[in-house]
Amino acid sequence: MLESYVKKILAARVYDLAVETPLARAANLSKRLGVDVLLKREDLQPVYSFKIRGSFNKMSQMSEGQRSRGVIAASAGNHAQGVAMAASHLGIRATIVMGRNTPSIKVNAVRAWGARVVLHGDGYDAAAAHARELEKDQGLTFVHPFDDADVIAGQGTVGMEIVNQHPGQPEAVFVPVGGGGLIAGIAAYVKYLYPRCRVIGVEAEGSACLRAAMDAGRRVKLPAESLDLFADGVSVAQIGKETFKVAREYVDDVVVVNIDEICGAIKDVFEDTRVLSEPAGALAVAGLKRFVETRRTKLSDAVAVISGANVNFDRLRHISERAELGEHREAILAVTIDERQGSFLRFCRTLGRRGISEFNYRFAGNSAAHIYVGLQITSFEDRKDAVSRLRKEGYPVVDMTDNEAAKLHVRHMVGGRNVHDQEELLFRFEFPERPGALLQFLSGLGADWNITLFHYRNHGAAYGRVLVGFQAGPRERGRLQKYLQRIGYRFWEETDNPAYNLFLK
């Protein structure tokens, strides 16, 4: 298998449009991790991602008949731009189906290359199903974003360049994973030449289809409603059939990271390159950092593929807010202090010279007050030490650093209370951020239940976030949950969340 793919990679036609991108040392990240980190800068391609390689290699080998009928593709954005640019260069009519949650910067870029854009569904799988229908109806040729040997070979030229550019033999290569085209191509080439080099995939929580497949020993399809769309470029429910054939044999490990870690990695890439990568683009760096922090295996050097830089500008608000948490530079704590003169001064003295990034105060009655505090830290261990020090001084502390409801909603709502002491159930919702989504949500709620609390928040994230309180008691929980399921959005009950009970109840 490897020899066949290496031949296809060596013969791949990509450089009519793609450029050989640099393998650049990340000085700041290398110093922090104690690992010589090299970044493969695929964000410097003409379409700001590696996808131009596979799409052009595929389309350049099409017959004249296929070219005359036109092509169709489904994509979260980067493959779409690659197909659109390749089609423009080759004189082929292109139709691209994209999810309605696709960042506008990607949609506009595709249209700028002259391709027709069809927005359908809330993610790649819905877009792909619709594209397949159009393929049959209009006699078009489908250009798959990952599960195609020619596409895989085109992406594999990234691995060829890494091998050629590395001063020695790379010890490990970290690769972002969506459908698996990039990691399959890189693994095929790198493992053929350097079998001992570790090829490590990195996936986002909620889209870890390769991890699921590796664990099960077969391809697994993740529920569409559970897919995380923050790293939209890798939001795929099932690893490709052809890509999994390669990955299951030649990928050594898969690391799964969360949104905070991805945001922290975006900041790391920016500090070393002054370039803003998209969430999927920084995935490999996030995985490298987690691998170094959690695995016993020591690395002396590693390559991380920066796969793209197509990020909506308004999403930067969300990224910057979460980056400090992902970098272990901020902890979110709920602390109870005495409601008496000098108690705040005593609390600050206990913290010492630590910086405070946020401070929300709420009188709790019985001579006590609850504080929602953002605390500047230097590491995960420093966070544990800060909590331990406060507890030793007698302060009740709840660490809410990993509490989504606390970070997304409660920090902006401290001060509100259920003044009538009525029974209340609290739920947190997520839905794809697209026109009409909030209206659909509110229409679904209707007037059957009395709403006691409502907080909607979105600032460039892939999801709209809503926190809703309902006038209902435990005996009505089952009936209410069945009602909410009909709306069709993901939700979690937060009635027992300590952030809610300390600051809002």
CB 85 within 8 A of CB 106: no
Question: H or E element: which one contains 73?
Answer: strand 71-75
> Known catalytic residues?
51, 307
The neighbour count for residue 228, using CB atoms within 10 Å, is 23
Contact 441, 487 (CB under 8 A): yes
Say if CB 392 and CB 385 are below 8 A apart: no
Task: Look at residue 41 and give its three-state secondary structure.
Answer: strand
Which tokens is 13 given?
A: 């036609």
C-alpha to C-alpha distance for 325 and 379, rounded to whole angstroms: 10
For the chain, the first-to-last Cα distance in angstroms comes to 61
Contacts of residue 143, Cβ cutoff 8 Å, sequence gap at least 6:
55, 58, 59, 71, 72, 73, 79, 83, 151
**Which of these, 308, 309, 318, 268, lies nearest to 288 by C-alpha position?**
268
Name the 3-class secondary structure at 210: helix
- Spatial separation of the C-alpha atoms in residues 207 and 189, rounded to whole Å: 25
